[in-house]
Every structure is written in structure tokens, then in C-alpha cells.
Amino acid sequence: MAKKLKTIVRLQIQAGKANPAPPIGPALAGHGINLMAFCKEYNARTANRVGEIIPAEISVFADGSFTFILKTPPASVLLKKAAGVEKGSATPPRGKVGKVTRAQVREIAELKMKDLNAIDIEGAMHQIEGTARNMGLDVVD
Amino acid sequence: MSDSQLLEISLVVEDELVEPVSEVLRRYVKGGVAIESTAVSAGAEGENGQPVGPLRVYGYLPIDNALEEKRRSIEEALWYLSRIRTLPEPSYRTLRESDWAAAWKKHYHPIPIGRRLLIVPAWMGPPAQERIPIFIDPGMAFGTGTHPTTQLCLAAVEDFFEDRDPNGSPMDVIDIGCGTGVLSIAALKLGARRALGLDIDADAVRAARENVRANRVDDRFELELGSLDEALAGNYSFQTAALVLANILAPVCIRLLEEGLTRLLAPGGRLVLSGILDTQAADVEAAAVKNGLRLAETLQNADWVALVFDAADQG
């Protein structure tokens, strides 16, 4: 019989460095997930990408069991890298911190396509551009 | 364990605002952010469900002198975001480490392993079963007994003691990266004379000490903060063992092999390496063979494997 899905938790965490500290401990423990089992699995699967933020999407079932898949890095992380800035604007939309080109947006959209619920690449680009603006990044040609 | 406090900050937002809100939180919170569905749709088999509707974004701030400033910075950044798209006010909740560190215990039950072992949560009494109980309180250390890598290793330890002549010479165990100490405690209960458990994580050594006491094997278990280098340097009461265990991760196993792990093996000894994904097994085996070992057995559970090696000069 299919197991009953209780919730889905996505963690944006550092590859290879999961431990039971926040946010993993507080976010998962309440669902009865064995924290160390998750951390060990996550670290094993991301050990070769230390230094990146690799989100894990965890499906938690009613019986306390779980499965997880790895996702592409957050759009905001990829955008900051593309723009060469450390952080987004503290005062968007007027406070600008940098810019990204439409070609860079397309590249990010292509990479993240499978994780975005966009119908086509234009839809995905539209979402990425929205995130860029919300962070105080101009999108230029 | 110190009972530190955290401030949980969370807000429920539409899918497209998850990224910018997470980006704001990530600047100030510890460790990263968590995003949870407020509702899910079950997939066809219940396995591939999707979040439905808005999502809750969470971050955690340590309660210390910098808290108020961080909180103000977050609120300010969210206020600017809310001028682009409406955002709800964040909600706050204070959490104690002890609340969440213990929350999963109520889901943890005795687990039979292999033919003779039973992993029992340390906070439960001895079970009415004929299996050999191993009492484990994982604390904040690796090795709860529930993970395939630990289970594979325990099975290999059990096999080792079944294959050996009980009247033969006494056998010692060295456990590199011992975590909770679960593997060495099992070995001692299955007939090992002495165990040396090493871990580079002080929390693990602390958790292991509790477990050693709970299992009444204190007099035969030497437990230290350290790793292969210290063992090779002869810092402990013995330096070689008939059974050497390393349940860590594939890249670490390979590094340990390169740094002389096999020198811990007594003549005719056996090495068990675990924490290895099946796709990584060939690399680990190659490193072991290069260091004079022969693959005796591969144990597999889901996509995890444990590799059992003997010295290549054995029959």
C-alpha cells in the first residue's frame, strides 16, 4: 500500500556539512525523522560539492519514514554568483546591488528548469528575472 | 548537552516569493533555511507528492547579544520586499535545543539486526527477547543502528565472530570514526576481548562513553578523541587488531587506506569499510587492493554497501 505523505520539507543547506544543528534539527525532528540518518545520507550524496548550497527536498510520510531528492542550488545563489555580488539588496526594488544579463538569466533558467513549475524556458526565465528584481539586481541585455 | 535557545522566524508566502524571502533570511540565520509545504497532493503512488498552495519559510537565530540587530535587519529587508509584493508579518517562536533534540525519540524502537543482535534505545529497559541487546542513545552522534551502513557493518561484525574459533586466541577491535560506539559494543558483546574506539568529534566520544556505560563494557572499551594518525603513533594501549572497522564515508575510507589504515590489522586480520554508496565501491576496493587487501565479501542494503577485506596473502 502506498505510504501516506505528511509533508514536504526543503532545506537549503551547505553540501557535505549537514549536522543536527539548525535548521535541520528543528525542521525535521518534530516530524519524527531520524536526524543522523538524514545527515549521513545527505553528506554522502553531496560530499563532492562542498562549498555549494544544495537543497534537499524531503518527503515525510505519516509513519516517520522519509525519502529525499537533491535539487539545484537556489536561484538567488546562482544570481548572486552571476552578478558577482555577496548579497542581495537590503532595500529593493530601488536599492540596486548589481546586474545580470539576460543570457545569464537564461543559463540559470535552463539549469533550474526541472525544479521550476514553468511550462517553457520563457516562463522559467520570467521567474528568475522576478527573483533578480526582488533582490535588487537589474536584468540587462 | 547545553540547552541553548533559538528564535524561530517564519512566514507563509506564495511560491514565487520563497526565493527572495529565503535569500533575506539566509543572510542572518544559522546554517540555512527550511521551507515546508502547508499542504501536499499525494502522487499516484503516494511517493511523488507535490506541495500545494503557499509555503512556510523558516530560519533560526541563536538567542544572544546580536539577536535584536539581526531581527531588525531581517524585518527591514522584508519590509522593502513587501513594497514589491504583499508579505505577511513574520511569526516568532522560541525553541529549546532539548525540545527538538529529543522529539524524535518517541519514534525510535528496538531493531533486530542480523541473527543475534537487537539495538535498544538506551532509555528503554531490557527487552524480553533472546537477542543480545545493544543499548544506544545516539545523542548527537552518528550510528543509531537504524541506518543501512550501520546495519551492514553490524552484520559483518557478527559474521566475523561466527567464522572464528571461539577457543582461538582472543581478538581485539579497532573502530575508526566510532560515533555512538555501536559497532565496538556489538563486537565486545559477541566475543571481542578489547575495543579501541576513536572519533574526531567530541560529541560522539561523549555519546559513546554513555553507551559504553549503559552496556557495561567500560572495562574493555578504550574510547578516545582521535583518529588513524594517533593510533599508528601508538598513543593507545594497543596498536593492531584482528578486526578493524571504519563506517564513515567512501572518500574518508580511501584517504585512511592511503594513510596506512592496513597497518592496524593484526596478521590474518579483517577490515570492514562502510558508509559507501554502491557507485563508490569500485574506487574503495581499488584503494584497498593497492594496499595489499583482498575483497572477501560485499554486503549490500539498498544502494549502500559494506566491503569486507582480508589480507591478500591469506588463502
- Mean pLDDT rounded to a whole number for chain B: 89
pLDDT band at B1, cuts 50/70/90? very low
Q: CATH classification of B5-106 is 3.30.70.120, yes or no?
A: yes
Return the pLDDT at B79.
92
Q: Among A78-87, B92-101, B204-213, which is the least confidently predicted range?
A: B92-101
In the predicted structure, residue B46 carries a pLDDT above the cut 50: no
Q: Kindly report, residue by residue over B215-238, the tens digit of the pLDDT.
A: 999 999 999 999 999 999 999 999
**Does B298 contact chain A (CB < 8 Å)?**
no
Q: Who has greater pLDDT, B256 or B86?
A: B256
Which chain A residues in 5-44 lie under 8 Å from chain B, judged by CB atoms? 5-14, 19-30, 32-37, 39-41, 43-44
In the predicted structure, residue B294 carries a pLDDT above the cut 90: yes
With beta carbons under 8 A apart, name residues in chain B contacting A35.
Answer: 104
Q: Among B30-39, B120-129, B175-184, B253-262, which is the least confidently predicted range?
A: B120-129
Total residue length of chain A? 141
How far apart CA A46 and CA B247 sit, in angstroms, is 17
Helix A75-83 vs helix B15-28: crossing angle, to nearest 10: 60
Q: Are B9 and B85 in contact (CB under 8 A)?
A: no
**Does A74 contact chain B (CB < 8 Å)?**
yes
Section B274-278 average pLDDT: 93
HSE-CB at B303 with a 13 A cutoff on CA atoms is 6
Return the pLDDT at B63.
92
**Are B49 and A10 a contacting pair at CB < 8 A?**
no
pLDDT band at B139, cuts 50/70/90? low
pLDDT band at B57, cuts 50/70/90? very high
Total residue length of chain B? 315
Task: Work out the minimum CA distance from A119 to partner chain B, whole angstroms.
Answer: 15
Q: Give, in order, the Cα–Cα distances in Å from B1 to each of A40, B27, B138, B140.
A: 21, 27, 12, 9
Return the pLDDT at B34.
96
Return the pLDDT at B107.
67
**Are A75 and B84 a contacting pair at CB < 8 A?**
no
Q: Please give the share of chain B, as a percent, with pLDDT higher than 70.
A: 91
Q: CATH classification of B132-311 is 3.40.50.150, yes or no?
A: yes
pLDDT band at B141, cuts 50/70/90? low
**Are B8 and A26 a contacting pair at CB < 8 A?**
yes
How far apart CA B197 and CA B191 sit, in angstroms, is 16
* A5, A21, A41 member nearest B42 (Cβ): A5
pLDDT band at B45, cuts 50/70/90? low
Task: Work out the minimum CA distance from A11 to partner chain B, whole angstroms.
Answer: 4
In the predicted structure, residue B315 carries a pLDDT above the cut 80: no
Other Cβ atoms closer than 10 A to A12: 27
This model's pTM is above 0.95: no
**Are A95 and B80 a contacting pair at CB < 8 A?**
yes
Which residue ranges of chain A lie beneath pLDDT 70?
Answer: 1-2
Section B245-272 average pLDDT: 95
How far apart CA B308 and CA B1 sit, in angstroms, is 36
Work out the angle at residue B139's Cα, subtended by the Cα atoms of residues A4 and A49, and round it to the nearest 5 degrees. Answer: 70
SS (H, E, C) B255-283: HHHHCCHHHHEEEEEEEEEEEEEHHHHHH
Return the pLDDT at B24.
92
A54 to chain B: closest CA residue: B32
**Does B277 contact chain A (CB < 8 Å)?**
yes
Which chain B residues in 45-104 lie under 8 Å from chain A, judged by CB atoms? 45-47, 49-51, 58-60, 73, 76-77, 80-81, 83-85, 95, 97, 100-101, 103-104
In the predicted structure, residue B270 carries a pLDDT above the cut 70: yes
Q: Are B252 and B271 in contact (CB under 8 A)?
A: no
Task: Work out the minimum CA distance from A141 to partner chain B, whole angstroms.
Answer: 22
* A87, A127, A134 member nearest B27 (Cβ): A87
B107 to chain A: closest CA residue: A32
Q: Please give the share of chain B, as a percent, with pLDDT higher than 90.
A: 65
CA dihedral B282, B285, B286, B292 (to 10 degrees): -170
Return the pLDDT at B280.
94
Quick check: helix, strand or coil at residue A95? coil
Mutate to test the interface with A, among B14, B80, B144, B206 (most CBs of A within 10 A): B80
* B23, B35, B144 member nearest A37 (Cβ): B144
How far apart CA B302 and CA B315 sit, in angstroms, is 31
Section B161-190 average pLDDT: 91
Mutate to test the interface with A, among B23, B106, B149, B201 (most CBs of A within 10 A): B23
**Are B80 and A30 a contacting pair at CB < 8 A?**
no
Task: Work out the minimum CA distance from B165 to partner chain A, whole angstroms.
Answer: 35
Q: Who has greater pLDDT, B272 or B313?
A: B272
**Which of A66-75, A100-109, B24-33, B99-108 tops mean pLDDT?**
A100-109
ipTM of the complex: 0.89
As annotated, the residues of chain B forming the CATH 3.30.70.120 domain(s) are: 5-106
Return the pLDDT at B311.
85
As annotated, the residues of chain B forming the CATH 3.40.50.150 domain(s) are: 132-311
Quick check: helix, strand or coil at residue A84? coil
